[in-house]
Amino acid sequence: MVSPVLILAIGLGTAFSLGLMKPARTRVLFGITLTALGVMSAIALGWTLALATGAAQTAEIHTAGVAPPFAINLRVGLPEAALLSLITLTGLLAALSMRAALLRLGRGSQAVLLVLVMAVSGLVMTRDLFNLFVFIELIAIATAGLVLLSQDERAIGAGFKYLVVSQIISILLLVGIIFTYHATGSLNIDDITVAPVAFRGASLAMFLLLIALIVELKPFPANGWALDIYTSAHPGFSALFSAATGSAALFVVDKVVAPAGTEWLPLLTGIGLLSFVASNIVALRQENDRRLLGYSSVGQLGLILAVIGQRDVLGDAYLYVAGGLILSHAVAKAGLFWMSSMVRGRKLEDWAALRTRAPMVLAFATFVAMLVGLPPFPGFYAKWDLAQALVAAGRLPVLTLILLGVLIESAYLFRWFGYAIKREAAENGLASNPVDCGITFATVAGGWALGYLWGNGPEQFNLLATLPAITAVVFILLEPLDARIKNGLAIAALLGWFAMVAGDYDPMRLIFAAVMIPGGAVILLASFTEKGRRLGFYPSAMAMYAGLALLLEATTFFEFFAAWEVMTLGSYFLILRGRMSEPHALSYILFSLGGAFAILTGFALASGGVQPHPIDGLQDVAAADLAPWVFVLLAAGFLTKTAAMGLHIWLPGAHAEAETDVSPMVSGILLKAGLFGLFLMLMQLGRQSLYGVDLTVVLAYIGAISAFLGAVLAVFQEDAKRLLAYSSISQMGYALFGVALMNHLGWLLAMMFVINHYVYKSMLFLAVGGVYKRTHTKLMYQMGGLITLMPFSFVSVLVGIIAMSGVPPLSGFGGRWIFYNAIMDADLRLPLILIFMAGPVGFLYLFRLIHTIFLGQLKDPHRKLKEAPVWILVPQMIFVAFLIAFAVLPGMALQKVDGYIGSIFGDQPLVWHGRAITSEFGYWNPVAIMAVIVMVFVAVFAILIAKNHDAQMVKQFNIVFSAERPYRPETTHFAWNFFAPYRKAMGFLETPVVTSFWGGVTGGINGAGEFTRRFYSGNGQTYAAHVLLFVVAVYLIAMGGIA
């Protein structure tokens, strides 16, 4: 093993030796610089590997051969080694990224870069306070020098401001060091630990040390100077500044605070949280990509500072959590800065240029997911463990603030990602070249590798090692293939997985699995219509299906949550593919993440920090005091997914604007995940009361209100897919109501809805999508009379709406029959009224759907339309056949589930004999119903044929029109505002109360961001004053508490 001191030595040595060489041979010089950085990285990596595998022990290096405090000592443990690798690698890649500037400015700049990397590395290794000071000074000078590399004029100002502030920091630090020496008699960090920190001077010393280091972390609001650097410096350097310097500074804080004692931790927590939340709020309003990244960096550093503040409760997991967050931040932020060097424009929208390069989009997605802490990246694992620890220690407010911050952060990051995918891409907006791309992809690879490493941690569930997740990743690699081949593979993968696992599931899980996995395969048949490569679709879809598959497999809280997040992420990318879906996908991911955080908190509350915690263990807390809170949190999360009224506003847009084959996936399948969660939760927790209110009753009310309002809103839609989306809200309301009844038949009803809603909603979305493919519009009133041109689509819509409205003989009726039997012995009477109202209202929008599209007057441009593409029809016809079969033989799916639910509730209200079903109250004989109806229908039809077989077939204008004739089909088709009389009576229900509420919330946060942003005036003196005021304020608050 080479000594790690060589990292410093090589850095410094090369920097000096550069000065001795001929300045003209720039390429050689640059090569030497790179080599030096490469060697430094290699050493760091070697140490990391050795330490991680246990091949080496933590190295203590004493310079000058004497023990501290008489000499400087350096330490390289695993965290140090990992950070060193990060710093040196970032340095190497940054050098590559800045190659043009470095070559232009020659050896001096390269030397400064090397010094910076060396100094940052030294900062990590050293255990001596004064040495620390020296390195910080070195960093300050080197940074100021490198800032000037940029050709941006603002960089000069930024560099100057930076120098001013660093001097303040240095002074504070120096005074702190002097005080410390005075107090402890040593400058070695390890000695401070031993010495008592009892008297006032010591805590003041500690305060000065810490505050200096904290200001180095650019906390909000004392950070105006740093943001100017991010905005104006070369992005290659900004990456280094954010990833390497920031991480090292954090490490130093950690180093210093560890001996100082736990009483300092709340200070760190407070500053960290303030910085995290506030920076993210301000970032919401940023237009400039690099400044936004700057705010995000500040926020992330604040987050990690807050995590350092939690080191007392994190215990063994501390390194895992903090490390995960630091590495996620560093890799992602560095990657984004380097990418920004390729994007020509500085506006966020300019990133749309990335869209032309699929791998770049992948890189962007990777970095965004890493920053937000989504699976499978280290931040995700870290976030989970952090939440567990915080809840176990009773620090819910801290967790809440962190999650709030993450949510805001995801808001602007995903908005930005949405811009990149959806906005107009400028010509030549991307200055891509092999080197920059290489840097970016190296970073991406690093990110994924870290994800794998973190998943492989002790006692962890490695997401990337599961078969479904691997499949999803494989589909990223398969991207160059033709879409049809990929589609075939995807279907095979889904069916294969189902065949593999189906045997192990209980009947209820089996139904969910059948809907989610082979059900997904059936919908994928429709994707055969798409030609070309269809980049991005299959990885996203397979990620979603992987999430669903893992969800069903999950046995522990973590597995469940991880699967949930994977599913959310995959579906977000899927939804974002829609043509107009940018804002809707954003609101989808935000609501989903909000819901997911509720689930996270709920799980953490339930597990009490015990890892891993089996899902079945949830029932152990059912009797505990916190059980109702767990119930509320989990339910909130699941209700967000099922889009219960109040949390529904993401759904209509997301489902309506998605692509033809995506809408049925997200509507027919994805919504069921929420129901699945509710089932799991209720099975374990049972009824819970909060302040005397039975929470299942609340759920029932929410379900009933969703069922009713969803239906009413659907009635007023002009857009066919939006109508179906609102209808989903209503249908999920029914299912929710059934689940919340907490009796056997209620659950059976919900299961029936799981099957039925999947079938008919997928069918209707596909049919409407097929029509959209031909007419290029979703506005129903622009269509009309398509029945003769698209008979198959018509049949599937017809069967779909009969089934959905519950009219016998199709399967929807079964749902209604079970519903009536279920409510017979329920105590809930009032919400029933809403459910009863919802039924006929549903009839309204369904009729409108079929009438305005297929009946009425055919429009001019549609006269020559063809039937929808055959591959869109195939799944529809499968669904039609299934619906009819299921109507006659409901037992084929329900009987087993019925038995299973019976085993949960310990009763068996339904008796199945032959094809007939009897309950305590009534009976249902589907075969007889079908037979009678078919017989009567055929008989009446025969009479009509006998009389009217010779009827003259007429055309669309051959109608009696009060003795006039129709003018144009557009003016004859009664379609727009179809239920105008209904609107007159019930239109008040359309008032967008919920939308206004959420609009107010986002508006408020944005307003806060706008207000806070004015704080940054751009004036160096003001910034210096900020820093001083910040120090004074913190002093007053902190010393008041500590001393």
In the structure encoding, which two tokens stand for residue 2, read together? 């080479």
Question: Considering the rule CB under 8 A, would residue 462 count as an interface residue with another protein?
Answer: no
Q: How far apart are CA 795 and CA 502, in angstroms?
A: 32
* Residue 772 C-beta: closest distance to another protein, Å: 9
Size of the chain, expressed as the number of residues it contains: 1043
* Residue 595 C-beta: closest distance to another protein, Å: 32
Question: Considering the rule CB under 8 A, would residue 940 count as an interface residue with another protein?
Answer: yes
Q: Which of 16, 199, 921, 1011 binds another protein (CB under 8 A)?
A: 921
Question: Considering the rule CB under 8 A, would residue 20 count as an interface residue with another protein?
Answer: no
Q: How far apart are CA 1010 and CA 1012, in angstroms?
A: 6
The secondary element (H helix, E strand) that includes residue 134 is: helix 129-147
Q: Which of 832, 904, 1039, 1042 binds another protein (CB under 8 A)?
A: 832
Considering the complex, state which of residue 383 and residue 862 has its C-beta at the smaller distance from another protein: 862
Considering the complex, state which of residue 820 and residue 998 has its C-beta at the smaller distance from another protein: 820
Residues 440-459 that bind another protein (CB under 8 A): none
Q: How far apart are CA 639 and CA 699, in angstroms?
A: 9
- The secondary structure of 828-849, three-state, reads CCHHHHHHHHHHHHHHHHHHHH
* Residue 877 C-beta: closest distance to another protein, Å: 18
Contact 362, 401 (CB under 8 A): no
> Which residue stretch of 257-265, 487-495, 662-670, 952-960 sits at the interface with another protein (rule: CB under 8 A)?
952-960
Residues 717-776 that bind another protein (CB under 8 A): 774-776
What angle, rounded to 10 degrees, do the helices at 830-854 and 695-715 form? 30
Could you tell me how many residues of this chain bind another protein (CB under 8 A)? 94
Q: How far apart are CA 674 and CA 595, in angstroms?
A: 10
Q: How far apart are CA 845 and CA 539, in angstroms?
A: 35
Considering the complex, state which of residue 203 and residue 852 has its C-beta at the smaller distance from another protein: 852
> Which residue stretch of 13-21, 155-163, 749-757, 969-977 sits at the interface with another protein (rule: CB under 8 A)?
969-977
Q: Which of 101, 622, 824, 1039 binds another protein (CB under 8 A)?
A: 824
Question: Considering the rule CB under 8 A, would residue 936 count as an interface residue with another protein?
Answer: yes
Question: Considering the rule CB under 8 A, would residue 928 count as an interface residue with another protein?
Answer: yes
Contact 601, 633 (CB under 8 A): yes
* Residue 982 C-beta: closest distance to another protein, Å: 4
Considering the complex, state which of residue 26 and residue 956 has its C-beta at the smaller distance from another protein: 956
* Residue 588 C-beta: closest distance to another protein, Å: 28
Question: Considering the rule CB under 8 A, would residue 474 count as an interface residue with another protein?
Answer: no
In the structure encoding, which two tokens stand for residue 161, read together? 């401001």
Q: 681 φ, ψ to 5°?
A: -65, -50
Q: What is the DSSP string of 879-912?
A: HHHHHHHHHH-THHHHHHHHHHHHHHHT----EE
Considering the complex, state which of residue 840 and residue 1000 has its C-beta at the smaller distance from another protein: 840
- The secondary structure of 409-441, three-state, reads HHHHHHHHHHHHHHCCCCCCCECCCHHHHHHHH
Considering the complex, state which of residue 372 and residue 787 has its C-beta at the smaller distance from another protein: 787
Considering the complex, state which of residue 400 and residue 956 has its C-beta at the smaller distance from another protein: 956
Considering the complex, state which of residue 241 and residue 760 has its C-beta at the smaller distance from another protein: 760
Q: What is the DSSP string of 688-705?
A: -EETTEEHHHHHHHHHHH
Question: Considering the rule CB under 8 A, would residue 976 count as an interface residue with another protein?
Answer: no
Question: Which of 604, 681, 608 lies closest to 383, judged by CA?
Answer: 604
> Which residue stretch of 323-331, 529-537, 816-824, 1022-1030 sits at the interface with another protein (rule: CB under 8 A)?
816-824
* Residue 659 C-beta: closest distance to another protein, Å: 17
* Residue 541 C-beta: closest distance to another protein, Å: 27
> Which residue stretch of 376-384, 501-509, 924-932, 996-1004 sits at the interface with another protein (rule: CB under 8 A)?
924-932
**CA 685 from centre of chain:** 27
Token pair 């967790």 is found at 399
Question: Considering the rule CB under 8 A, would residue 948 count as an interface residue with another protein?
Answer: yes
Question: Considering the rule CB under 8 A, would residue 477 count as an interface residue with another protein?
Answer: no
Token pair 């490469």 is found at 38
Considering the complex, state which of residue 428 and residue 962 has its C-beta at the smaller distance from another protein: 962
For residue 59, the 8-state DSSP code is E
Question: Considering the rule CB under 8 A, would residue 820 count as an interface residue with another protein?
Answer: yes
Q: How far apart are CA 450 and CA 444, in angstroms?
A: 10
Question: Considering the rule CB under 8 A, would residue 973 count as an interface residue with another protein?
Answer: yes
Q: Mask 844-883, x = binds another protein (CB under 8 A)?
A: x--x--xx---xxx--xxxxxx------------------
Residues 26-55 that bind another protein (CB under 8 A): none
* Residue 668 C-beta: closest distance to another protein, Å: 23
Q: What is the DSSP string of 310-330?
A: THHHHTTHHHHHHHHHHHHHH
Question: Which of 462, 466, 465, 269 lies closest to 381, judged by CA?
Answer: 462
Q: Which of 802, 849, 880, 897 binds another protein (CB under 8 A)?
A: 802
Question: Which of 646, 625, 780, 774 lies closest to 703, judged by CA?
Answer: 646
Question: Which of 630, 557, 626, 544 lies closest to 588, judged by CA?
Answer: 544
Considering the complex, state which of residue 596 and residue 846 has its C-beta at the smaller distance from another protein: 846
Question: Considering the rule CB under 8 A, would residue 817 count as an interface residue with another protein?
Answer: yes
Question: Considering the rule CB under 8 A, would residue 579 count as an interface residue with another protein?
Answer: no
Amino acid 255 reads K
* Residue 777 C-beta: closest distance to another protein, Å: 7
Question: Which of 410, 250, 243 lies closest to 331, judged by CA?
Answer: 243
Contact 394, 385 (CB under 8 A): no
Considering the complex, state which of residue 255 and residue 859 has its C-beta at the smaller distance from another protein: 859
Q: Which of 458, 477, 951, 991 binds another protein (CB under 8 A)?
A: 951
Q: Which of 403, 975, 1034, 1038 binds another protein (CB under 8 A)?
A: 975
Residues 582-611 that bind another protein (CB under 8 A): none
Amino acid 295 reads Y
Considering the complex, state which of residue 22 and residue 984 has its C-beta at the smaller distance from another protein: 984
Q: Which of 972, 1002, 1006, 1022 binds another protein (CB under 8 A)?
A: 972
* Residue 716 C-beta: closest distance to another protein, Å: 12
Considering the complex, state which of residue 47 and residue 760 has its C-beta at the smaller distance from another protein: 760
Contact 45, 85 (CB under 8 A): yes
In this structure, the strands spanning 693-694 and 911-913 are unpaired
Question: Considering the rule CB under 8 A, would residue 16 count as an interface residue with another protein?
Answer: no
Residues 977-1006 that bind another protein (CB under 8 A): 978-982, 984-986
Residues 376-415 that bind another protein (CB under 8 A): none
Question: Considering the rule CB under 8 A, would residue 650 count as an interface residue with another protein?
Answer: no
Q: Which residues contact 392 (CB under 8 A, 6 or more apart)?
A: 313, 604, 607, 608, 609
Residues 514-543 that bind another protein (CB under 8 A): none
Q: Mask 880-919, x = binds another protein (CB under 8 A)?
A: ---------------------------------------x
Question: Which of 611, 556, 573, 224 lies closest to 422, judged by CA?
Answer: 573
Amino acid 15 reads A
Considering the complex, state which of residue 23 and residue 791 has its C-beta at the smaller distance from another protein: 791
Q: How far apart are CA 134 and CA 174, in angstroms?
A: 10
Q: Which of 17, 956, 1002, 1022 binds another protein (CB under 8 A)?
A: 956
> Which residue stretch of 355-363, 647-655, 719-727, 812-820 sits at the interface with another protein (rule: CB under 8 A)?
812-820
In the structure encoding, which two tokens stand for residue 315, read together? 């215990």
Question: Considering the rule CB under 8 A, would residue 965 count as an interface residue with another protein?
Answer: yes
- The secondary structure of 623-667, three-state, reads CCCCHHHHHHHHHHHHHHHHCCCCCCCHHHHHHHHCCCCHHHHHH
